[in-house]
Amino acid sequence: MSTTYELVRNQAALFDFSSEGRFFIRGEGAAEAVNAVIASDLEAIPELKALNTVVLDEAGAIQAIVWVLKTEDGVWVLCDPDRRKLLGERLVASAMERTAEVDDRTEATLCLAVIGPAAQKIAMAVAGEDVIGIPYLGFEANEQTDALLCRLGYTGEFEFRFIAARERASELRALLLGAGAEHGLEIGEASDLPLLMLEMRSLSQREYIPEGTSPIQAGLHWMIDFRKENYPGHDAMHAQKANPGCKALMLQLETVTPPVGDQAVRIEQQEVGRCVHLAYSPTLGKTIALAYVDAALAWVGVVFDVAGEDARAVSAPLFITKTVASPQ
């Protein structure tokens, strides 16, 4: 078990997400400009509430998975580092048609995240007692840390992100590590996050979503507002929802050593899907996989053949985390 995995599941780890894209869209038409690009409806959520949604192309393929944070002054849009250029172009094109300006604040700001069951206590120690009142998908301008404090996350554990001016990186990192020392806080390896996400059926775009995949195929329906009328990919989503062709499916193998390489998913030697990732889950003590499987067979309880091993389709999340199990 990696140190980072152990920390995130049992204590807390500190991650530097500063390389992720951070855009701030302001102006009278800011919300409209962002709404024209995303598949969820920004108008349907209140201020100080975050949306986890997708930016699609016209064919319905996922271009970027984004967090959208609606504030009184404008809208933040956060994305993976490798989607920054594409997302920036989409946002700028939309803003030019409206009364809005896009400010790429990636270089001017930093983003530090504390993730784990102890993350709330650590965030409270540096940002004040009010932290306990921040719901999941909530955020606030925190005076004590002079940062935008967001409660987001994909791992099933508490995750508090601090977005602040880049020149404050050392100070904020020291503050968090100091407050977190009694909770065992250490710096985590971001490369361990995809496994922690997959156990909760959250999908890292880079690791688990092949190019050309739609949110319906990936099982990310909740990132779409099906009642929204105009957004890129709208027609494709409605055409595909009844018959996506293939669906992402969580598989569990009894083996502790994951089969290596690109693995087919078979029934009676007939290929019915492909695994995009196989990994050992320390919590389960078994191998887990994410596979894209013929939709007619992609149902929990079906047992496939992966590399000669039984691979049972299972429900997600794969287990209940300490954060969820403990009273909040």
Partner 1 sequence: MAGMTMKEAQARAARRREITKRLKEQVIGRLMLQLEPDEIADDSPLFGSGLGLDSVDALEIVVAVESEFGVSITDEDMQAFRSINTVVDFIEAKQEEKPV
| Contact residues for partner 1, defined by CB under 8 A | 52, 136-137, 201, 219-222, 224, 226-227, 241-242, 250, 266-270, 296-306, 308-311, 315-317, 320, 324-325
Closest among 111, 91, 104, 108 to 153, alpha carbons compared: 111
Tell me the C-alpha distance between 22 and 216, whole Å. Answer: 26
| Residue 89 amino acid letter | E
**Which of 111, 265 has the CB closer to partner 1?**
265
Q: Are strands 270-281 and 286-294 parallel, antiparallel or unpaired?
A: antiparallel
We find the least distance from the C-beta atom of residue 101 to partner 1, in angstroms, to be 28
**Which of 173, 228 has the CB closer to partner 1?**
228
Q: Are strands 186-187 and 13-16 parallel, antiparallel or unpaired?
A: parallel
We find the least distance from the C-beta atom of residue 96 to partner 1, in angstroms, to be 30
DSSP letter for 229, please.
-
Contact 101, 35 (CB under 8 A): no
**Which of 96, 296 has the CB closer to partner 1?**
296
**Which of 37, 200 has the CB closer to partner 1?**
200
We find the least distance from the C-beta atom of residue 180 to partner 1, in angstroms, to be 24
Residue burial 119-129, b: 16+ Cβ < 10 Å; e: rest: bbbbbbbbbee
- C-alpha 118: how far from chain center: 20
Tell me the C-alpha distance between 8 and 302, whole Å. Answer: 31
We find the least distance from the C-beta atom of residue 75 to partner 1, in angstroms, to be 18
We find the least distance from the C-beta atom of residue 177 to partner 1, in angstroms, to be 28
**Which of 92, 297 has the CB closer to partner 1?**
297
Closest among 237, 226, 219 to 317, alpha carbons compared: 219
We find the least distance from the C-beta atom of residue 41 to partner 1, in angstroms, to be 11
Residue whose pair of structure tokens reads 């064919």 in the numeric block: 59
**Which of 174, 325 has the CB closer to partner 1?**
325
